[in-house]
């Protein structure tokens, strides 16, 4: 099976007054379907830049001179590269505004919808003047209004008799998701299944109340002309441009769909362990604790049922107890959501908790990638070995820092970028960039020590 996402030979540069920073220097990495891939490396090695490049959200002084990000047989960086070629080494944002707009439009169908990102700072990625419910609702409204339209329509078409059949099906299949999805598709009620499953999976509600709540989903009232408009949105997959031109229509669509979005926000927040979600959706970011804010940004990333979720330092802004809760949450999400995850952290211990595989990054390149147990117990690359020995343990063994300085990315060292700090460096390391060598079943290491082994 092909990878969910493949990054090939990706180069990213930042154009600044002090020179060109070569933040990524040939990243090669594949994200397998359904896996959690951890990315570790010291501060400034390019982890966030890689996430932003995949999302095509790099700042405007960035360019992508080489490389590909393949998702669903498309190269996501092709359009920004066209931009980079025109920019060359000079940066003129105003002149390139039109190209940037075209790039943005083409990527809107993927970004936030099929690939989403939890940004490094939860406080700065939430809007301080908008309620939490609105921010989650708006994410779905902007990226996938048809999803909200289908949910409202499904409720309006459902009868008490259908709900009785749904409850029988749930009892017979022990809440079987596949069976319920098929039932909803067969009865032209797509959008109902996620609402039913949300109630069914709640652990804080007694079964008798669950059944009552599921029955009450039937028969959402809607005027016939409202229904016609919402049906058009559900069918066309987006808000048709003719609606946008008529203020009364666009306002009506917005009102109905944002209300539905708020309902989805309550479901999402509850499923992510936030109690009294009906109250939380009315709150503003500053009223929430750090842990709750982190859950909200995770909810926003999951709101459109994406295929790939990139989490950038999901635990760096919270204390250790909340960190444990967030890691538990990530583990729970990966079993309940059929997405693939990239989790970025400078903390290997955090990644060890949640990742299936870990990739180690140094100076804008992946130097080693392997299953978590291999990275922890049999690290091959000298840099990985030093990172592992820098993890503090309870046995009180002395912790060794990594000697030397992080390279200046305006003029990264030639050959292997780690050679000025590497105790095993030999002549070839100074001049030739190491290629990936396969070791064992599933370990790749970019180091000349493993050539011919
Ligand atoms: N807009 C920018 N302009 C110039 N240089 C930038 C810009 N953004 C990032 N950089 C530089 O690119 C390099 C990689 O930054 P990046 O944020 O990807 O690192 P990181 O691995 O995520 O670090 P951290 O662990 O601190 O988050 C750094 O040297 C940084 O200074
Ligand atoms: S290629 Fe050479 S310098 Fe680089 S990590 Fe391996 S031994 Fe060290
Ligand atoms: Mg970062």
Nearest CA to ligand 1 atom 25: 43
Q: Does an H or E element contain 299, and which?
A: helix 290-302
Residue ranges lining ligand 1, Cβ < 6 Å = 14, 16, 21, 23, 41, 43-49, 59, 61, 120, 346, 409
Ligand 1 centroid from CA 340, angstroms: 24
> What are the tokens at 329?
């949450």
Cα separation, 329 vs 379, in Å, equals: 28
Q: Does an H or E element contain 302, and which?
A: helix 290-302
Cα separation, 265 vs 303, in Å, equals: 8
Q: Which pLDDT belongs to residue 185? A: 93
Q: Which long-range contacts (CB under 8 A, 24 or more apart) does 254-260 make?
A: 254/141, 256/152, 256/226, 256/230, 257/141, 257/145, 257/148, 257/149, 257/152, 257/230, 257/233, 258/134, 258/137, 258/138, 258/141, 260/137, 260/148, 260/149, 260/151, 260/152
Q: Which residues contact 269 (CB under 8 A, 6 or more apart)?
A: 132, 136, 277, 280, 281, 295, 296, 299
Q: Give the mutation target among 447, 450, 451, 452 for probing the ligand 2 site: most ligand atoms within 8 A of CB.
A: 447
Q: State the average pLDDT for the chain.
A: 88
**DSSP string covering 400-449:** PPPPS----TTSPPSSSTTGGG-TT--HHHHHSPPPPEEETTTEEE--GG
Nearest CA to ligand 1 atom 29: 44
Q: Which pLDDT belongs to residue 46? A: 94
Q: Give the mutation target among 412, 428, 429 for probing the ligand 2 site: most ligand atoms within 8 A of CB.
A: 429
Cα separation, 166 vs 105, in Å, equals: 40
**DSSP string covering 102-158:** HHHHHHHTTBTTTEEEE-S-HHHHS-TTS-HHHHHHHHHHHH-HHHHHHHHHHHHH-
Q: Which pLDDT belongs to residue 366? A: 97
First to last CA, the chain: 28
Q: Which pLDDT belongs to residue 176? A: 84
Q: Which pLDDT belongs to residue 273? A: 85
**DSSP string covering 174-199:** TS-HHHHHHHHHHTT-TTHHHHHHHH
Ligand 1 centroid from CA 362, angstroms: 12
Please identify, by atom number, the ligand 2 atom nearest to the C-alpha of residue 429.
2
Q: 246 by DSSP, 3-state: which?
A: coil
What are the residue ranges in the chain where pLDDT is below 70? 1, 79-96, 99-100, 103, 392-401
Q: Which residues contact 149 (CB under 8 A, 6 or more apart)?
A: 230, 231, 233, 234, 257, 260
Strand 62-71, strand 443-445: pairing: unpaired
């Amino acid at each position: 099976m092909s990878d969910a996402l493949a990054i090939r030979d990706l180069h990213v540069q930042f154009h600044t007054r002090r020179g060109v920073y070569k933040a990524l220097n040939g990243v090669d990495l594949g994200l397998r379907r359904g896996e959690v891939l951890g990315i570790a490396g010291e501060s400034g090695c390019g982890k966030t830049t890689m996430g932003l490049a995949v999302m095509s959200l790099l700042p405007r002084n960035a360019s992508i001179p080489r490389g590909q990000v393949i998702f669903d047989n498309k190269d996501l960086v092709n359009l920004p590269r066209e931009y980079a070629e025109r920019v060359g080494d000079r940066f003129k944002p105003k002149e390139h505004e039109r190209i940037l707009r075209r790039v943005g439009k083409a990527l809107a169908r993927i970004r936030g919808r099929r690939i989403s990102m939890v940004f490094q700072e939860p406080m700065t990625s939430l809007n301080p003047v908008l309620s939490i419910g609105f921010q989650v609702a708006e994410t779905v409204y902007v990226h996938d209004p048809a999803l909200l339209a289908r949910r409202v329509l499904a409720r309006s078409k459902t009868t008490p008799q259908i709900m009785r059949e749904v409850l029988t099906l749930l009892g017979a299949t022990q809440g079987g998701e596949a069976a319920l999805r098929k039932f909803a598709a067969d009865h032209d009620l797509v959008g109902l299944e996620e609402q039913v499953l949300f109630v069914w999976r709640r652990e804080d509600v007694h079964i008798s109340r669950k059944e009552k709540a599921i029955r009450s989903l039937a028969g959402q009232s809607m005027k016939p002309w409202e229904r016609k408009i919402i049906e058009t949105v559900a069918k066309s997959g987006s808000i048709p441009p003719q609606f946008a031109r008529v203020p009364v229509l666009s306002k009506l669509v917005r009102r109905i769909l944002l209300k539905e979005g708020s309902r989805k926000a309550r479901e999402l927040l509850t499923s992510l362990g936030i109690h009294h979600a009906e109250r939380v959706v009315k709150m503003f970011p500053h009223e929430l604790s750090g842990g709750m804010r982190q859950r909200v940004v995770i909810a926003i990333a999951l709101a459109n049922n994406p295929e790939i979720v990139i989490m950038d330092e999901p635990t760096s802004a919270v204390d250790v107890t909340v960190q444990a809760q967030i890691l538990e949450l990530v583990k729970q999400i990966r079993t309940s959501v059929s997405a693939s995850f990239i989790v970025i952290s400078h903390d290997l211990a955090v990644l060890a908790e949640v990742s299936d595989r870990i990739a180690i990054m140094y100076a804008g390149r992946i130097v080693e990638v392997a299953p978590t147990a291999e990275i922890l117990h049999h690290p091959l690359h000298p840099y990985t070995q030093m990172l592992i020995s820098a993890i503090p343990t309870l046995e009180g063994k002395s912790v060794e820092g990594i000697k030397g300085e992080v390279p200046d990315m305006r003029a990264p060292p030639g050959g292997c970028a780690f050679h000025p700090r590497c105790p095993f460096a030999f002549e070839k390391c100074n001049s030739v960039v190491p290629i990936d060598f396969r070791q064992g079943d599933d370990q790749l290491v970019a180091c000349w020590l493993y050539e011919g082994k």
